[in-house]
A and B are shown apart, each in its own frame.
Chain A
Amino acid sequence: MARELVLCYRKLIDNSSKGRWERLLYDAAYEEYHMQVQYFDTEGKWDRYSDLLLAVNGAEKLPFLVSGAINGYLQQLNGRVPDVVNNVGKYFLRFSQYQFEIIDAHRSKQSTFRIAVSFFTDPLLWLDTISNYLLLQPLGDENCLTHLFELRPYVNIHSVKEC
Chain B
Amino acid sequence: MFALAAPLTTQSCAKEESTDAVDGGKEVVADGSCVVSPSETEGPFPTKNPASYVRSDIRKGDGVGANMNAKITVVNANNNCAALEGAVVDVWHCDVNGDYSEYGGTQMQSTNYQSVHWFRGRQVTDSNGLVTFQTIFPGWYQGRATHIHVHIYNSAGRSLLVTQIAFQDSLSTTVNTTGSAYGYTKGMSRYTYNAYDSVFSDSVAKEMSTVTGSLAAGFEMSITIRVSV
Which residue, of A71, A74, A91, has the highest number of chain B Cβ atoms within 10 A?
Answer: A71
Do residues A61 and B102 form an inter-chain contact, with CB atoms below 8 A? yes
Do residues A76 and B52 form an inter-chain contact, with CB atoms below 8 A? no
Q: Does B120 contact A (CB under 8 A)?
A: yes
Closest 4 A-B residue pairs measured CB to CB? A72-B49, A89-B39, A38-B159, A21-B46
Do residues B40 and A42 form an inter-chain contact, with CB atoms below 8 A? no
Among the listed A74, A86, A90, which residue makes an inter-chain contact with B113, where contact means beta carbons less than 8 Å apart? Answer: A74
A-B contact pairs, 10 of them (CB 8 A): A21-B46, A32-B51, A39-B162, A68-B53, A72-B50, A74-B113, A88-B36, A97-B110, A97-B113, A101-B107
Contacts of B107 in A (CB 8 A): 60, 63, 99, 101
Least Cβ–Cβ distance between B164 and chain A, in angstroms:
12
Among the listed B36, B50, B102, B153, which residue makes an inter-chain contact with A87, where contact means beta carbons less than 8 Å apart? Answer: B36
Interface string of A94-124 (1 = CB under 8 A from B): 0111110100000000000000001010000
Least Cβ–Cβ distance between B222 and chain A, in angstroms:
24
Q: Does B44 contact A (CB under 8 A)?
A: yes
Least Cβ–Cβ distance between B57 and chain A, in angstroms:
15
Known: A91-B40, A96-B113, A98-B113. 4 other contacts (CB 8 A): A85-B35, A89-B36, A90-B40, A97-B110
Chain B contact residue count (CB 8 A cutoff) = 39
Q: Does A47 contact B (CB under 8 A)?
A: no
Q: Does B47 contact A (CB under 8 A)?
A: yes
Contacts of B151 in A (CB 8 A): 38-39
Do residues A34 and B38 form an inter-chain contact, with CB atoms below 8 A? no
Q: Does B80 contact A (CB under 8 A)?
A: no
Q: Contacts A20-B46, A21-B46; is A97 near B114 (CB within 8 Å)?
A: no
**When chains A and B are docked, how far (Å) is the Cα of A163 from the Cα of B30?**
38
Please, which residue of chain B has its CB at the minimum distance from the CB of A80?
B40
**When chains A and B are docked, how far (Å) is the Cα of A108 from the Cα of B161?**
20
Q: Does A152 contact B (CB under 8 A)?
A: yes
